Amino acid sequence: MVVLFGAGYFYHMQRDKMEVMTSGYYEEVQYMNLQTEESGRNVIMEDGPEYLQNFENPEPVTEVNSSLTMPVSGLGNWQLTLVNPWHSLNEDYSLQLVELVNGQSVDERCYPELQAMMDDCRAAGLSPYICSSYRTWEKQNRLFEENVRTLMAQGYSEEEARTETARNIAIPGTSEHQLGLAVDIVDKNYQILDENQEDTAVQKWLMENSWRYGFILRYPTDKSDITGIVYEPWHYRYVGKEAAEAIYNEGICLEEYLEKQK
């Protein structure tokens, strides 16, 4: 299996820091080993096992310029850029990131709506935590290669380890987290990434309201054969308000929406 590599050049511009609300300490987000299945396509878990920092408020503290690679897709609209197991990153895409507290980052163009969504969720008396956001090529590759080495230590051949890893962790270049438009959000009161996350108060609110801010639940429970990703009731993707409303109302996924727009 070929692993794609890429590199971004980063520089930081210091800006005035806004008052932020954080938990004040780090908590461990636990990942469950979700079982995948063959359905004519490889269905994987987009978010591999890693330990992440949590925070309540995505206030920006720094801006970062990053040159990424991205496919020419999404009907020419940056909000709809498609990245999945069959659409990997090219070398003709650039974006500017807003670095959030505790080192997380998102595309600055989706930041205002993300902030509004988090604020309104908290105003409803809930406790959302963003536990993962933008990932560099290097980080995605590290997650992939670490899992390969772990499996090889368990007796897998390298080829077997890479094949098995690709079922659970996105191959570098095919993860939505490399877009800067995807965030994993968990409930403070239940910080395990498994299907029980859907029963938390935070997820119930987000599933009902995220479209109002231009975000969609990217990997619904009944769309794995289309998205290539198992159900992830914590992974939200910014697509813009118009597309998000249509996707929500029609009960479809991003791939289906893009196909209809053709």
How many Å apart are CA 247 and CA 225, to the nearest integer?
17
Which of helix, strand or coil describes residue 37? coil
**Beta bridge mates, 67:** 94
* Active-site pick, 56, 99, 113, 232: 232
CA-based nearest residue to 143, from 242, 223, 68, 31: 31
- Let me know: does 94 contact 66? Beta carbons within 8 Å: yes
From first CA to last CA, the distance across the chain in angstroms is 32
From residue 261, alpha-carbon distances to 66, 210, 224, 243, 245 in Å are 29, 22, 21, 10, 14
- Let me know: does 197 contact 234? Beta carbons within 8 Å: yes
Residue 37 annotated as catalytic: no
Q: Dig out the tokens for 13 from the structure.
A: 């511009």
Looking only at the bridges linking them, the beta strands covering 192-193 and 215-217 are unpaired
What per-residue string of b and e applies to 237-260 under the rule 16 or more CB within 10 Å gives b?
Answer: bbbbeebbebbbeeebbbbebbee
Q: What is the set of active-site residues? A: 232
